[in-house]
Structure 1
Amino acid sequence: MAPRNRVPRFYFSLRSPYSWLAYRRLTDQHPEVAAAVEWRPWWEPDARSRRMLEAVGGDFPYTAMSRAKHLYILQDVRRLAREAGLEPAWPVDRNPVWEIPHLAYFAALDEGRGAEYIRRIYEVRWQEGRDICDRATIAEVARELGLPEDLLANAADDEQLRERGLRALLAMDEDGAFGVPFFVHGFQKFWGVDRFPAFLRAVSGGGGLPAAVSWPQAGPLPGGDQGHAGGCG
């Protein structure tokens, strides 16, 4: 059996409204946990990333939702968001390529602005209703954050960032992260916003949070294609 990774992990997706809600709960209410977990991006790979993943024996389990589930999610997310004092704005995704915003996260991370990038992209998508798969949107966010516009907007074309994306997809596969938000603590796994309290109890019951993380941390922050109810984005 592989050795247990003692660092709690948070698989987040910039696409998913449930991941956005979990992000807000984590950063607004539990900044000490936000500062200690590993932040791992999760997204549906495009055709190129799928080929890269399959070439090394990886897998990406995902099933498209039904229309009934999609309509339920519209209602459910608005209800949960309003309970949290938020008003969602529904984006329209036209031919989305999720590598565009998620590989740009790695570029922002390299510049020391990963946390700010996550915060701003979530605002842009879920509070402003804009298309985060539009390279012009990513360039605008980069400009706001003082980051290289071309690098972030064209991250999906960067070979090194594609390789990092492949490693991230393999990490999802290894942890069995089939949807988001997805939390891992030791051998325990928690899927969905409704499992977040159980994740917190597991972390607090394990002797406290670790002092160091192996992936760059996001830290405490201020406060189309919708995702699966309570989890999978």
Structure 2
Amino acid sequence: MKNIDLSILGKDPDLSASIKLHIEPHAPISMVSELPGSYYKALLYPDKHILCGLFENVLGWHFSRKDREIITKEIKNIRKKTKKGYIPPTIRSIFIPLLSDFFELDSVRIVSTDSPFFYNDLWKRAFRRKDAGKIHFGGTQNIDYTLVMDKFRFMCENERALETEEKTDQKEEKFLRENIDRISFFYTTPTNREYLFFEGNYECVIKMDPQLVDLLSKTLPQQNMGYLGNSEGWVTLYLEEKS
């Protein structure tokens, strides 16, 4: 397994470098600034939080939330010994950014011959809830083949229970708990989501820590693809260091 260089997190940020980053979308993108309930409104431009996710994705920092919490705690302990201290990043979702104070977005614009346009589509959203027996049970497309007959019998029993007006929610939750190893870990539900499409690229002017510039410069020649917003918004990155 390749070792991941996290040494940058052990020092104070130094935003002395200036770069121009070109981001070319290869598919419609959907960048949201918050997690709403029934509708995901897309941003026209990527913000710092979204770019942070893009950088960490390209660098291969695919850490779990628990690991990110541990790393963040260690950063706090290290920064206590310095004058700058540590300002926790704004957390808008389950993603905890690690590189947010190692760059600042000065400006961003779209370079395109056509006008960008928005449209709505249905997005398959994945959920995981221990108490959502009925919802989880009905929102999974794939189950272990050994569960097919058990599920069929259970559904038949539920139909009979509904006819006699017996409550079945607790039974469904119990069935889910007892068979979770044979049911998809996540259930899915269609959600309205806004997408943005344009032919061209984003041009971002960024103040950045020289060590982060070096990390990206070494990585992008071999791996310059990532995604903006959700995992469907594939993009290519091109870094141009300004003089």
Interval containing the TM-score (normalised by the shorter chain) = under 0.3
Work out which structure has the larger RCO, using CA pairs closer than 8 Å and 6 or more positions apart in sequence: 2
Q: Between Structure 1 and Structure 2, whose CA radius of gyration is higher? A: 2
Bigger proportion of residues as helix: 1
TM-score, with length taken from structure 2: 0.24
TM-score, with length taken from structure 1: 0.25
